[in-house]
Chain A
Amino acid sequence: EIVLTQSPGTLSLSPGERATLSCRASQSVSSNYLAWYQQKPGQAPRLLIYVASSRATGIPDRFSGSGSGTDFTLTISRLEPEDFAVYYCQQSGSSPPTFGQGTKVEIK
């Protein structure tokens, strides 16, 4: 199975700053089927990005995804107060689908 490694584990930033989150796969993700989710405490995850760079319905354009093969990035251009949360990547290029361990974006 494909192992996804996210870095950093925690990102301490201030509102208005740019956040760059990394997701590295142990082998190439077929068709770049890499998704990103946001999870806030006590809530279900929310899909942000799919197929590496396509924004899900209703997701603000400050969220963007990039990358291909084994290296993927989620960028939040300017952090809003509601963006402080945990972010997970997930691959669905091969079975079983797997998730990264998460990156926590916290207020500095």
Chain B
Amino acid sequence: EVQLVQSGTEVKQPGESLKISCKASGYSFTSYWIAWVRQMPGKGLEWIGTIFPGDSDTKYSPSLQGQVTISADKSINTAYLQWSSLKASDTAIYFCVRHFSGYSISWFPHWGQGSLVSVSS
């Protein structure tokens, strides 16, 4: 069974750094892309970017490129989303999702439980 288990709630101040995680199990971690999807409070879903853990090839949303960094550690089957300097507008729930196939663009049959990031002074 495919499982994506995310790190917990984070409460941060503007300007702080943060790295959240997504631990995968139940499949070959290096064979499927993993993406991150954002849901701001009371809003819809937004694709942030995706990584292929096999070779760390990464693609970002044009609107969010440079704002976040996606990485993966294939030795521990874990993907990451990180910020160097958080803003209040980064407040959201962040989901990691596994692609349906080995292609870099896909629909998402597998979702993590979500990580709430709250940024406030």
Contacts and interface: CB of A to CB of B under 8 A. Distances in A.
A96 B61 contact: yes
Interface stretch (A15-23, A43-51, A72-80): A43-51
Contacts of B35: 97
Contacts of B111: 44-46
A84 interface: no
Q: Is the interface of A mostly helix, strand, loop or mixed?
A: loop
A57 B110 CA distance: 11
B105 A94 contact: yes
Interface residues on B, range: 20 to 34
Contact of B107 (A1, A33, A96): A33
B26 interface: no
Contacts of A93: 105
Contacts of B113: 44
A18 to B, nearest CB: 24
Interface string A93-108: 1111111111000000
A16 to B, nearest CB: 28
A6 to B, nearest CB: 9
B70 to A, nearest CB: 13
B41 interface: no
Nearest to A86: B44
B59 A95 contact: yes
A37 B39 CA distance: 14
B47 A97 contact: yes
A47 B62 contact: no
Given A44-B112, A44-B114, A99 B107 contact: no
Contact of B109 (A33, A51, A56, A97): A56
Given A88-B44, A99-B47, 9 more contacts: A1-B62, A33-B105, A37-B45, A44-B114, A46-B111, A50-B109, A90-B108, A92-B106, A92-B107
Interface of B: 35, 44-47, 59, 61-62, 95, 100, 104-109, 111-114
